[in-house]
């Protein structure tokens, strides 16, 4: 944790800037994993280099792949998978994607994580592997399976497995990504309430298909056929969820922010932030001639309150909640009960921190009701959660005296956030 809280820059005038954001964490980590399972070396261009992606790269090296940085490229050469110790940090993509890969290794693969990772739901991942015949060793204290080991035997038979993935789409993606290397592939059937963050599963399916893997999809059912994962060139899009705070800066200050290289089509959930902003009364334009997404805030930064089902875009909730706290009128964000199992309990964290700055917040069974009120400065706690940190930065643009407890937690997915933010604000 940072020794001194970060003084969030205050913007005395509308923010006007053109910004670039690094590559998508979700795409980068999927590309790294698929490249490690491929039949030939792969090259990844535009890969994000952050704590989460470095943890993934180190984990794959531990398991036997060669991952080399070469300028703007990352070169991944598959190798024979073997046992070792994987350090997951707080990265859900490492914690939930790699156990299925570890089952293909020869030997025990032990998984360790940050203290906060012990509160992240993991039972479905381990139960699904056990249902497929994989041996798991749990040595946790009962409140969490961490640390645990996957006992790899070099192969997994595969077949159909029924799971409840209502706590995280990563339970589905983790099985699908390794499934081409299973003897019979895998069919994942979801039974339970709706799976959250469906765009992330769509991303997984699209990337598997791009690697030459046959995938069939129907309602709550995904089948990956066994076969080779092709080594290829991956080009990583900018991380649209990480772009959201910068776009929000235009909305709350009545300014104009352009984000470079916004994709025309994408499976990233962050793309839906455009629609949220439009509903709040903000001008949003995708300039085809420049490739920029341009957000222009209303004069004075006026925002409308909204009622939004955030189920598929839960990762945007801290950013959207910050905007709602500055809006005119009540907002209701719902469909996000699963956020209680993210890096922190995001619903409780948002309720606590927004209330601390003077906003009216009521937590519901599956969301938040936000009643704006004049905000004041104060210490904004981050709970080791990168998106809580950036939400505090947004509020600080128009609320003097906001101090963010641990801004360094943004390194999880957005290196140098402080410098990028200060440069945008012009301080």
List Cβ<8 Å contacts ≥24 apart for 203-211.
203/26, 203/27, 203/30, 203/267, 203/268, 204/30, 204/172, 204/173, 204/176, 204/177, 205/176, 206/267, 207/27, 207/30, 207/31, 207/34, 208/34, 208/176, 208/177, 208/180, 211/34, 211/38
Pairing of strands 148-153, 135-138: antiparallel
CB atoms within 10 A of CB 3: 5
Q: Are 218 and 263 members of one domain?
A: no
Q: Are 49 and 158 members of one domain?
A: yes
> How far is residue 354's CA from residue 333's CA, in Å, rounded to a whole number?
14
Which residue range is the domain that position 156 belongs to? 25-235
Q: Are 260 and 207 members of one domain?
A: no
Residue 403 lies in a domain: yes
- SS3 of 5-51: the string is CEECCCCCCCCEEEECCCECHHHHHHHHHHHHCCCCCEEEECCCCCH
Q: Are 307 and 166 members of one domain?
A: no
Q: Are 192 and 255 members of one domain?
A: no
| pLDDT on residue 2 | 46
Cα separation values, 68 from 55, 60, 72, Å:
14, 11, 11
Closest CA to 32 of 18, 17, 45, 15: 45
For tokens 């209303």, name the residue: 298
Q: Are 89 and 173 members of one domain?
A: yes
For tokens 């709350």, name the residue: 252
Domain end call among 235, 262, 291: 235
CA 207 to chain centre: 16
CB 21, CB 224: distance < 8 Å: no
- SS3 of 35-104: the string is HHCCCCCEEEECCCCCHHHHHHHHHHHHHCCEEEEECCEEEEECCCCEEEEEECCCCHHHHHHHHHHHCC
CB 318, CB 352: distance < 8 Å: no
* Residue stretches of the chain with pLDDT short of 50: 1-2
Residue 56 lies in a domain: yes
| pLDDT on residue 3 | 62
Give the model confidence (pLDDT) of 280-290 as tens digits. Answer: 999 999 999 99
Q: Sheet harboring 256-259: ordered strands across? A: 16-19, 256-259, 292-296, 283-287
Residue 286 lies in a domain: yes
Q: Are 290 and 185 members of one domain?
A: no
Q: Are 227 and 266 members of one domain?
A: no
Give the model confidence (pLDDT) of 162-188 as tens digits. Answer: 999 999 999 999 999 999 999 999 999
For tokens 């298909």, name the residue: 209
CB 200, CB 170: distance < 8 Å: yes
Domain end call among 235, 265, 284: 235
Residue 164 lies in a domain: yes
Residue 125 lies in a domain: yes
- Number of domains making up the chain: 2
Q: Are 219 and 281 members of one domain?
A: no
> How far is residue 360's CA from residue 369's CA, in Å, rounded to a whole number?
8
> How far is residue 233's CA from residue 47's CA, in Å, rounded to a whole number?
12
Residue 1 lies in a domain: no
Pairing of strands 82-87, 106-112: parallel
Domain end call among 209, 235, 261: 235
CATH number of the structural domain spanning residue 330: 3.65.10.10
Residue 37 lies in a domain: yes
Catalytically active residues are 315
Q: Are 229 and 245 members of one domain?
A: no
Write the DSSP string, 266-332.
---GGGGHHHHHHHTT-EEEEETTTTEEEEEPPTT---B--EEE-GGGGGGHHHHHHHHHTSBS-EE
CA angle at 29 for the pair 210 and 67, rounded to the nearest 5°: 95
Enter the pTM of the model: 0.94
Residue 165: HSE in the Cβ half-sphere, 13 Å Cα cutoff: 27
**What does the radius of gyration of the chain's CA atoms come to, in whole angstroms?**
21
Residue 304 lies in a domain: yes
| pLDDT on residue 299 | 86
DSSP 229: P
Closest CA to 391 of 321, 332, 298, 326: 321
Residue set of the binding site: 25-26, 30, 92, 120, 168-170, 197, 315, 342, 346, 387, 412
Q: Are 186 and 286 members of one domain?
A: no
Q: Are 18 and 35 members of one domain?
A: no
């Amino acid at each position: 944790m940072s020794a001194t809280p970060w003084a969030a820059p205050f913007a005395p005038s509308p923010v006007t800037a053109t910004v670039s954001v690094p590559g998508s964490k979700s795409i980068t980590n999927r590309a790294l994993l698929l490249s490690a399972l491929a039949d030939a070396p792969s090259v990844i261009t535009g890969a994000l280099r952050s704590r989460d992606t470095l943890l993934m790269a180190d984990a794959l090296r531990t398991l036997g792949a060669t991952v080399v940085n070469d300028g703007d490229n990352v070169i991944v050469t598959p190798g024979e998978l073997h046992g070792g110790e994987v350090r997951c940090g707080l990265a859900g993509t490492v914690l939930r994607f790699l156990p299925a890969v570890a089952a293909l290794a020869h030997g025990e693969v032990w998984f360790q994580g940050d203290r906060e990772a012990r509160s992240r739901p993991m039972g479905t991942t381990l139960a699904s592997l056990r249902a497929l015949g994989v041996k798991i060793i749990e040595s946790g204290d009962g409140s969490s399976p961490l640390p645990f080991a996957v006992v790899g035997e070099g192969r997994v038979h595969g077949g159909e497995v029924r799971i409840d993935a209502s706590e995280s789409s990563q339970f589905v993606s983790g099985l699908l990504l390794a499934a081409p290397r299973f003897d019979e592939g895998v069919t994942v059937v979801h039974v339970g309430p709706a799976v959250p963050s469906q765009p992330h599963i769509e991303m997984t399916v699209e990337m598997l298909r791009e690697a030459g893997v046959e995938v069939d999809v129907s309602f709550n059912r995904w089948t990956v056929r066994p076969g080779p994962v092709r080594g290829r060139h991956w080009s990583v899009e900018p991380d649209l969820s990480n772009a959201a705070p910068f776009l929000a800066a235009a909305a709350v200050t009545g300014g104009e922010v352009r984000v470079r290289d916004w994709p025309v089509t994408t499976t990233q959930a962050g793309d839906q932030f455009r629609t949220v902003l439009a509903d709040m009364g903000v001008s949003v334009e995708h300039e085809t001639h420049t490739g920029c997404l341009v957000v222009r805030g209303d004069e004075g930064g006026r925002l409308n309150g909204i009622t939004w089902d955030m189920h598929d875009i839960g990762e945007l909730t801290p950013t959207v909640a910050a905007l709602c706290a500055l809006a005119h009128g009540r907002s209701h964000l719902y469909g996000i009960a699963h956020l209680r199992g993210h890096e922190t309990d995001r619903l409780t964290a948002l309720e606590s921190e927004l209330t601390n700055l003077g906003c009216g917040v009521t937590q519901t069974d599956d969301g938040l009701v936000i009643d704006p009120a004049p905000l004041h400065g104060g210490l904004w706690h981050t709970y080791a959660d990168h998106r809580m940190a950036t939400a505090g930065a947004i509020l600080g643009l128009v609320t003097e005296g906001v101090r963010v407890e641990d801004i360094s937690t943004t390194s999880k997915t957005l290196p140098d956030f402080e410098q990028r933010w200060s440069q945008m604000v012009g301080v």
